[in-house]
Amino acid sequence: MPKKLIKRYIPSPEKVKKLKGLGWLGTWLHNPNIWHLHRHSVAKAFFIGLFWMAIPVPSQMIIAALFAITFRANLALSIALVWISNPLTMGPIFYFNYEIGSLLLGQEATAKLHFELSWHWLTEVLGELWQPLYLGSTVVGLVLGVTGYFSIHFLWRRHVLKLWQSRCRKALQKRNTDK
């Protein structure tokens, strides 16, 4: 059941192999271990995808792909989870991360985060924001990643246990009806 549910929502290996940004990975994309769907590869993919989703860096997808290949996590799922931070969700996610970082550093969060594309804004304002933003992003990414990792292990085990219990009940019923 978890495999069927996950397969329904993640991109196919063929789609991922055709992504322009990942073409340079070449033969690594043909490693069958990064396409398997089992409890460990899915849990690692959740950790990697949710962690890199929270970090404000360019090329999150490529970084997540490299980590998925390195740690033999499911590549398609790692990439799909990074897509949670997209142009619509990026602002609220990173603002939340900034607030968390400011809280952890004991700083007061800047009341107005007015973005402007200028050299002054990049040097002055971004110079003040980067520490709380990256600290908050790292902490939020780790919390989300660890939560996702252990949640997948828990939910997967629970599902397998229910399947085993169902099989045992059916076998017991069959044995009782055969007598």
Domain count of the chain? Answer: 1
Looking at residue 54, its pLDDT comes to 96
Looking at residue 64, its pLDDT comes to 95
Q: Which domain holds residue 89?
A: 2-178
Looking at residue 152, its pLDDT comes to 95
In three state form, how does the secondary structure of the chain look? Answer: CHHHHHHHHCCCHHHHHCCHHHHHHHHHHHCHHHCCCCHHHHHHHHHHHHHHHHCCCCCHHHHHHHHHHHCCCCHHHHHHHHCCCCCCCHHHHHHHHHHHHHHHHCCCCCCCCCCCCCHHHHHHHHHHHHHHHHHHHHHHHHHHHHHHHHHHHHHHHHHHHHHHHHHHHHHHHHHHHHC
Tens of each residue's pLDDT in the chain, 179 residues: 466 767 777 777 677 666 666 666 667 777 777 878 889 999 999 999 999 999 998 889 889 999 999 999 998 899 999 999 988 888 889 889 999 999 999 888 775 566 666 777 667 777 778 899 999 999 999 999 999 999 999 999 999 999 999 988 888 888 888 76
pTM for the full model? 0.78
Looking at residue 68, its pLDDT comes to 94
